[in-house]
Amino acid sequence: MHSLAEENYLKTLFSLSNDKAEVNVNDLSKRLGIKMPTVTSMMKKLATKKLVHYESYKPLRLTEKGKKEAALIIRKHRLTEMYLVEKMGFGWEQVHEIAEQIEHIQSSEFFAKMDELLGYPKLDPHGSPIPDKNGKMVWSAYSKLSECKKGDTVKITAVINTSEEFLKFLNSREIHIGLKLKIKSIEPFDNSMVVTYDKRNAETLSQIVCERLLVEK
Amino acid sequence: MHSLAEENYLKTLFSLSNDKAEVNVNDLSKRLGIKMPTVTSMMKKLATKKLVHYESYKPLRLTEKGKKEAALIIRKHRLTEMYLVEKMGFGWEQVHEIAEQIEHIQSSEFFAKMDELLGYPKLDPHGSPIPDKNGKMVWSAYSKLSECKKGDTVKITAVINTSEEFLKFLNSREIHIGLKLKIKSIEPFDNSMVVTYDKRNAETLSQIVCERLLVEK
DNA sequence: AAAGAAAGTTCGGTCACCCTAAATCGAAAA
DNA sequence: TTTTCGATTTAGGGTGACCGAACTTTCTTT
Ligand SMILES: [Mn+2]
Ligand SMILES: [Mn+2]
Ligand SMILES: [Mn+2]
Ligand SMILES: [Mn+2]
């Protein structure tokens, strides 16, 4: 159907579009580690395939078709991550790189089987929603931990930015999806938070960490 | 390490070398569905990487390094097939195409985990040996069913040529690895065999089928 | 041994995907 | 409003992987 390169452009453009109102060639270039002229020509190619609306010097926009294709690739990525964690025993910090490759496997039966064996999961191991077979994806209305107040008790529901180092940091603090924690205090100087959970009495989390944790109250 | 194309050439050359004494550019070309000039230039490229001994107009030969690399790809292919059958519930006729893609995944942890979850299997679902981590592969000394005699009782140990149609044919006759069968008679005209097994009293198997079944006495 | 057929190579392309350097555009600053 | 500078496109190249056409070598047949 689509080449590996095309799939990675589509998926990345889709993800960036969920974070920012406007996505430029430069943004996509930086995220993919591919130079701008290359990105421009790929956008023109995807435009001929009716996956992207492309106009010179304008922000990049996926077509409805492009959004659906992208969401289906993300579906394969997240199903894979879930499978690797739940059925194969990998840690949540190990699965992204493998899923980055397996998401390009062309076999609907393979992903349908994963889905079935997992019991049709709605979320991946990092708390992100798994798009359905039609490419529909719904994010629950979570807050960032950094936006919570002193005294709040919240439950961790998802992690933004799933880099291996960040996830290893969370492992070292025994922080995981579903964990309930209470905000003891917020340092006004740097917005770091002191929180308690389980047997941990007073863990300090920097603002950078708190901005990457999504919670529910 | 190697590109997807290089890996497919290596693996196919290795497999053909196990079937025939000499493998020519033409053989590889036909098996891969790639034209001869392309095969020639890839052989030259693999020669510069010390994976193939290449001399104009001579049969193709893998170097020891090339044999090892190829066997390790076949290892990944067969581990995958075994995993798909044993852990995911696919039929043995469904797994080859998926494994053809997954064999190119670059993650030693992923294949090590499959191996572990499978309990370090020695054979794939079609009875072919899985090369070890050093690329060592041993075929047991099996006979073709077609070489057996009237009255022999044999156990099916492997299938040569694992095309989906052939495996579906075997499914329809309830023939599988481990099945014991007895040769009732051999038709001298076309070398077809009448065999009995389980509740099947008199199945006729053509010579073409009998040549594709490996057995142990 | 000569001729013809098959196999293999060489040569000149194409296409996908990537790059750098140079030109151009457009938004922010002067 | 003009300047300036970052963002973007254009132009020109490179590599990997494929192809067909034409040529050469080797094998087979007579
Ligand atoms: Mn991921
Ligand atoms: Mn990917
Ligand atoms: Mn196979
Ligand atoms: Mn393959």
pLDDT band per the 50, 70, 90 thresholds, residue A151? very high
**pLDDT higher than 90, residue B53:** yes
**Which pTM does this prediction carry?**
0.94
Return the SS3 of B117: helix
CATH code, residues B4-62: 1.10.10.10
User: Which pLDDT score, from 0 to 100, does residue B1 have?
Assistant: 81
User: Which pLDDT score, from 0 to 100, does residue A199 have?
Assistant: 87
**Among all chains, which residue has been given the structure tokens 């149609």?**
B165
**Interface check B48 vs A, CB under 8 A:** no
The alpha carbon of residue A113 and the mean position of all alpha carbons in its chain are separated, in whole angstroms, by: 23
A19: tokens are: 């974070």
A206 and A192 Cβ atoms separated by less than 8 Å: yes
B8: tokens are: 């497919």
| Predicted confidence (pLDDT) per residue in A168-188, tens digit | 999 999 999 999 999 999 999
What average pLDDT does the structure give for chain B? Answer: 97
The CATH architecture assigned to B143-216 reads Roll (2.30)
User: B106 and A101: CB-CB below 8 Å?
Assistant: yes
Nucleotide nearest to A38 (CA to C1'): C18
pLDDT band per the 50, 70, 90 thresholds, residue B102? very high
> Which residues of chain B neighbour A114 with C-beta distances below 8 Å?
88
Q: What is the DSSP string of A16-54?
A: HHHH-S-B-HHHHHHHHT--HHHHHHHHHHHHHTTSEE-
**pLDDT higher than 90, residue B61:** yes
Same fold, A4-62 and A143-216: no
**pLDDT higher than 90, residue A51:** yes
Contacts of A85 (CB under 8 A, 6+ apart): A91, A92, A95, A125
Phi, psi of A3, deg, nearest 5: -75, 165
Residue length of chain A? 217
Which residues are paired to A197 by β-bridges? A200
Average pLDDT for B54-65: 98
CA angle A189, A190, A196 (to 5 degrees): 105
User: Which pLDDT score, from 0 to 100, does residue B188 have?
Assistant: 94
pLDDT band per the 50, 70, 90 thresholds, residue B166? very high
Q: Which residue of A has its CA nearest to B98?
A: A107
User: Which pLDDT score, from 0 to 100, does residue A93 have?
Assistant: 98
**Interface check A3 vs B, CB under 8 A:** no
Q: Which nucleotides of C are covered by protein (CB under 7 A)?
A: 7-12, 16-21, 25-26
Cα atoms in the Cβ-side hemisphere of radius 13 Å centred on A133: 7
pLDDT band per the 50, 70, 90 thresholds, residue B199? confident
pLDDT band per the 50, 70, 90 thresholds, residue B124? very high
**Interface check B106 vs A, CB under 8 A:** yes
What is the C-alpha to C-alpha distance for residues B54 and B50, in angstroms, rounded to an integer? 9
The burial class, CB within 10 Å (0-12 / 13-18 / 19+), for B189 is: exposed
User: Which pLDDT score, from 0 to 100, does residue B213 have?
Assistant: 97
Tell me the torsion sign for CA atoms A142, A145, A149, A154: positive
**What are the structural domain ranges in chain A?**
4-62, 143-216
